[in-house]
Amino acid sequence: MTDASMQTPETGRHSVSLTATDAHTRKRANAEKRFRAYGIAAIATGLFFLVVLFTSILSEGIPAFKRTVISVDFTLTEAQRTEAEGELFKTKAYSNLFIAALKSELDERGLNVAVDEAAIERLLGKVGGTIRTFYSDNPDKIGEPVAFDLTASSRVDGYFKGRVSRDTMQDSRFLQKSDLDLVDALEEAGIVKQAFNWPFITGADSGVDNPGGAGIGASVVGSFFMMLVVLGLSLPIGVAASIYLEEFAPQNRFTDLIEVNISNLAAVPSIVFGILGLAVFIQFMHLPQSAPLVGGLVLTLMTLPTIIISTRASLKAVPPSIRDAALGVGASKMQAVFHHVLPLAAPGILTGTIIGLAQALGETAPLLLIGMVGFVARGYPDGFLAGFTEPNSAMPAQIYTWAARADVGFYEKAWGGIIILLIFLLSMNIIAIILRRRFERRW
């Protein structure tokens, strides 16, 4: 009232025109405009960092999904095979046959470079063995032309992806400068091509020398078994604990204490759970090291508080009138909870569980301590039960391992692994959103 009376002391507000904005109103409008600008700036900054993050992840990680392939047409006659099988060094014989084929292909196109056996091994690995295995598996292909797609070694791959160049490279047992002449010739001949790197998605980890052969498949399986353990333990335990605390437990000091502790547990650094897991599950209970079972148990401890907190929140959100209604027609407390409250809280519980699982899926620190990092997952577990107990890695642990390796070839693998991990996390979050939308009830 004060500003109005200041302008027209006698008549009060009525004489002030609505179209004439006074100083006070202008001030408020400006404050509002400024606040909006701050908000937009904050969102824009957030979006900017998100875009930077995604472009860097994609630009660094996409090359991991491509591999360099050297594609050579090769025909093995029955006579050649008999001859090679008669030799003392059989794979060497096959290798020589392959080199001859490659040489003639290059010659055909008028490219004259030296193709020696050692260089081929550096470029393509043990070609002879690969060819010999192929023909012993497919004897009917003898005599026909077969296109062999041989994965080029990581350094050659790096040469095409710009990681390795003539100026920066040093001669090593992996690649020598002179080999690059051969590589250039192969490229000119159109023998080199880029293919989708299936082995990266389906394969297992390789040795520290062989970034080209590294795949994330085995650790995806490891993560899967861990998540099974986490889901199987934390959902029932978490939901049962929340229902008890929310619906049945008396309100006293003891339950207050439990409540405070659960909230605190949610804030405990995950590495603490890791060392707890190491002490309890491995050193005391002697469960196998590096096993998804142990990883799952540790992550269960970590996920429980998240699930309990979100479950209790969704139970609280169910209106008390529903409980009264059920009790009023003579339902027992348990019937009221299980017939009415729990179904209404279910979407919230599921969403919380999925978010908890997504957190657990991306967790690395506790896995450091129970030996799931640095472990070379060279194969898939044999069978379902073995999946829980056989040593394995997990996606984030695998990424960490690759990032820590010396060979730069692993760098793009780590980024590629992050893309795969993000795909899993995003799909879990999308599922959570869909569930929430689909089952949300209004009352």
Partner 1 sequence: MNDMSRVEREVDTNEIKLECRDCQVYYGDTHAIKDVNVDIEDKTVTAFIGPSGCGKSTFLRCLNRMNDTIDVARVEGSFRLDGEDIYDKRVDPVQLRAKVGMVFQKPNPFPKSIYDNVAYGPRIHGLAKNKAELDEIVEKSLRRGAIWNEVKDRLDAPGTGLSGGQQQRLCIARAVATEPEVLLMDEPCSALDPIATAQVEELIDELRSQYSVVIVTHSMQQAARVSQKTAFFHLGNLVEFGETGQIFTNPVDPRTESYITGRIG
Residues that bind partner 1 (CB under 8 A): 250-251, 319, 321-333, 335, 339-340, 344, 441-443
Question: Measured from the CB atom, is 269 or 319 closer to partner 1?
Answer: 319
CB of 249 to partner 1, least distance (A): 10
Question: Measured from the CB atom, is 124 or 318 closer to partner 1?
Answer: 318
List of residues 6+ apart from 365 with CB closer than 8 A: 269, 270, 271, 274
d(CA 202, CA 388): 19
Question: Measured from the CB atom, is 45 or 335 closer to partner 1?
Answer: 335
CB of 318 to partner 1, least distance (A): 10
CB of 250 to partner 1, least distance (A): 6
Q: Directed axis angle between helix 179-188 and helix 117-124, to 10°?
A: 70
d(CA 420, CA 438): 27
A 10 A CB-CB count for 264 gives 10
Q: Please answer whether residues 287 and 293 qualify as being in contact, where contact means their C-beta atoms are separated by less than 8 angstroms.
A: yes
Question: Measured from the CB atom, is 110 or 250 closer to partner 1?
Answer: 250
A 10 A CB-CB count for 31 gives 10
CB of 317 to partner 1, least distance (A): 13
In order, the DSSP letters of 152-177 are PPHHHHHHHHTSS-TTT----SS--T
CB of 315 to partner 1, least distance (A): 15
For tokens 């360099």, name the residue.
Answer: 68
Question: Measured from the CB atom, is 28 or 333 closer to partner 1?
Answer: 333
d(CA 222, CA 244): 33
User: H or E segment at 74?
Assistant: strand 66-75
Considering only CA atoms, which of 154, 137, 148, 139 is closest in space to residue 68?
154
Question: Measured from the CB atom, is 110 or 320 closer to partner 1?
Answer: 320
CB of 252 to partner 1, least distance (A): 9
Q: Please answer whether residues 22 and 3 qualify as being in contact, where contact means their C-beta atoms are separated by less than 8 angstroms.
A: yes
- Residue at 259: amino acid letter: E
- For the record, the structure tokens of 370 come out as 């129970």
For tokens 């992050």, name the residue.
Answer: 418
Contacts made by residues 142-146, CB under 8 angstroms, sequence distance 24+: 142/76, 142/77, 142/78, 142/81, 143/75, 143/76, 143/77, 143/78, 144/75, 145/73, 145/74, 145/75, 146/73, 146/74, 146/75, 146/76
Q: Directed axis angle between helix 127-137 and helix 90-108, to 10°?
A: 100
CB of 322 to partner 1, least distance (A): 6
CB of 347 to partner 1, least distance (A): 12
CA dist list (Å): 247 to 320, 337, 440: 11, 8, 21
Question: Measured from the CB atom, is 283 or 332 closer to partner 1?
Answer: 332
CB of 305 to partner 1, least distance (A): 25
CB of 235 to partner 1, least distance (A): 23
CB of 202 to partner 1, least distance (A): 46
Question: Measured from the CB atom, is 230 or 350 closer to partner 1?
Answer: 350
d(CA 275, CA 120): 48
Question: Measured from the CB atom, is 134 or 338 closer to partner 1?
Answer: 338
Question: Measured from the CB atom, is 194 or 335 closer to partner 1?
Answer: 335
The Cα angle at residue 375 between residues 372 and 380, in degrees rounded to 5: 95
Distance of CA 41 to the CA centre of its chain: 31
The 10 Å CB-count burial string (b at 16+, else e) for 3-16 is ebeeeeeeeeeeee
CB of 442 to partner 1, least distance (A): 8
Question: Measured from the CB atom, is 179 or 246 closer to partner 1?
Answer: 246
Question: Measured from the CB atom, is 25 or 335 closer to partner 1?
Answer: 335
